[in-house]
A = this chain, B = another copy of it.
């Protein structure tokens, strides 16, 4: 569980380079993790449904890179990215998806409802809007400790009651919470413009919440924006809002042929694949070589293979008595 310091500045160019290389590694890990999940799902080993984060990696990785030990994150059913970005164990997460006893929730929660408090993940919430309520409440608690809560959610979620109620609530009490709307253009199979009046960004703005729309596929942009937002929230300036424009490369969930996508849209976005963008940026900014990055890719393969292997060999949990309540 590696945790970055919450500062946006760097002590040295080398440190900055190393940090972003680390972020690249995490993004790569997420991508390949999701690829594995897809495969395992097709093999009938991951069950039910999955919502993959492929294409959106820069969002969770960039945002979580600025969080400190006292901060907490509420994610969604599309939460593997946030979990791995926070340092949730790859094997434990995979084991959870495989329904094993070694899963982070012992197979109880599955893909959509992962909770790992030790890694600052207060939960993945599979009710649209649930993450917003959860983070708003967490911020109420964190106000006492100087921590900041982060809520991830999608464009479609801007129309669900939790969104306006909690944004207003957070604003009224100036809670330290950063709302990260990952606008991937669709809620399930429906283009967000078709069901959304006006611009999402205006919704927080008119409440008096600092809000900006950014390129969510550029991890530098995401990190810098998030750093500033978290800093403001921590300084008592109240809730912050980031609309992070991105795109998912895969279906909404299990069986989704993607018929709703505009022609050529996927290809256009693939050109802005956050992994490609990051690789290019690492070369351009810090002279990191393709070979060095390929080595990282390779180490990700190994970590992942080991995780999948271990998780696949882990036992299933035994049915047995459950304690309905804590303390009896």
**Chain A interface residues toward B at CB < 8 A:** 159-165, 167-169, 171-172, 194-199, 202-203, 205-209
With A163-B164, A172-B197, A197-B207 given, can you name 16 additional A-B contacts, CB distance below 8 Å? A159-B165, A159-B169, A160-B165, A161-B161, A161-B164, A164-B164, A164-B165, A168-B196, A168-B197, A171-B198, A197-B206, A197-B209, A198-B207, A202-B206, A203-B206, A206-B206
For this complex, 6 residue pairs linking A to B, each with C-beta atoms less than 8 Å apart, are A159-B165, A160-B165, A163-B164, A168-B197, A172-B194, A203-B206
Residues on the B chain within 8 Å of A168, using CB? 159, 195-197
Q: Please measure, in the bound complex, the distance between the C-alpha atom of A207 and the C-alpha atom of B206, giving whole angstroms.
A: 11
Residues on the B chain within 8 Å of A202, using CB? 206
Most chain B beta-carbon contacts within 10 A, residue among A172, A206, A209: A206
Q: Please measure, in the bound complex, the distance between the C-alpha atom of A169 and the C-alpha atom of B159, giving whole angstroms.
A: 9
Q: Please measure, in the bound complex, the distance between the C-alpha atom of A159 and the C-alpha atom of B171, giving whole angstroms.
A: 12
Chain copies in the assembled complex: 2
Instruction: Given A206-B202, A206-B203, verify A197-B167 contact (CB < 8 Å).
Output: yes
Most chain B beta-carbon contacts within 10 A, residue among A172, A197, A198: A197
A188 CB to nearest chain B CB (Å):
16
Residue of B160, B163, B206 touching A198 (CB-CB under 8 A): B206
Q: B172, A161: Cβ atoms under 8 Å?
A: no
Closest to A204 in B: B197
Q: Please measure, in the bound complex, the distance between the C-alpha atom of A196 and the C-alpha atom of B203, giving whole angstroms.
A: 13
Residues on the B chain within 8 Å of A160, using CB? 165
Residues on the B chain within 8 Å of A162, using CB? 161
A296 CB to nearest chain B CB (Å):
43
Q: Please measure, in the bound complex, the distance between the C-alpha atom of A206 and the C-alpha atom of B159, giving whole angstroms.
A: 13
Most chain B beta-carbon contacts within 10 A, residue among A162, A167, A207: A207
8 smallest beta-carbon distances between A and B, as pairs: A161-B161, A197-B207, A171-B197, A164-B164, A202-B206, A198-B206, A198-B207, A168-B197
Q: Please measure, in the bound complex, the distance between the C-alpha atom of A194 and the C-alpha atom of B174, giving whole angstroms.
A: 12
A323 CB to nearest chain B CB (Å):
34
Q: Please measure, in the bound complex, the distance between the C-alpha atom of A19 and the C-alpha atom of B208, giving whole angstroms.
A: 43
Residue of B161, B195, B199, B208 touching A206 (CB-CB under 8 A): B199
Residues on the B chain within 8 Å of A165, using CB? 159-161, 164
Q: Please measure, in the bound complex, the distance between the C-alpha atom of A160 and the C-alpha atom of B165, giving whole angstroms.
A: 6
Closest to A170 in B: B197
A35 CB to nearest chain B CB (Å):
36
Closest to A173 in B: B195
Q: Please measure, in the bound complex, the distance between the C-alpha atom of A92 and the C-alpha atom of B168, giving whole angstroms.
A: 41
Q: Please measure, in the bound complex, the distance between the C-alpha atom of A163 and the C-alpha atom of B167, giving whole angstroms.
A: 14
